[in-house]
Amino acid sequence: MKTPDGQEFWNAIEYHEIVLHEKIVSSMYFSDSKGNKIDPAQLGIEHEAIDGAYDVTIFEDLGNGQTKLTHTGNEPMESAKNSGQLEGWNQILDKVAAVVAGLAQAK
């Protein structure tokens, strides 16, 4: 993840459940560049994730080649904004959109 001022932070994801074409249940955590978990406080970040709560991403087939993606994070929205998690998810989704666009062009 890269902040607007160019600072880089690393995250890793632990997957708890994957239901093909339907749902991903996961937890994201701050890490070093090798994926080792680190305390957000080491980065000067206040992080209010709820212990034992997971991120849930639901995929809904809308037909006609369209899919609705709904993401429910594991921390309050204001905290997600302040910790950079919201920006991080937006960056992830931008990358997914680029991959999907590339796959569509390859057809």
Per-residue pLDDT tens over the stretch 54-93:
889 999 999 998 899 998 887 778 877 877 778 878 888 8
| pLDDT tens figures, 3-58 | 677 777 787 888 999 999 999 999 877 788 888 888 877 777 766 666 677 889 99
Q: Hey, what are 41's tokens?
A: 């406080």
User: Residue 79 and residue 33: Cα distance in Å, rounded?
Assistant: 23
pLDDT score for 41: 79
DSSP annotation of 59 reads E
User: Residue 15 and residue 57: Cα distance in Å, rounded?
Assistant: 11
pLDDT score for 1: 67
Determine the 3-state secondary structure of 92 from DSSP. helix
Find the length of the chain.
107
pLDDT score for 9: 76
Task: Identify any residues that bridge with 13 across adjacent strands, giving them in sequence order.
Answer: 28
Q: For the chain, what are the domain ranges? A: 10-106
pLDDT score for 96: 86
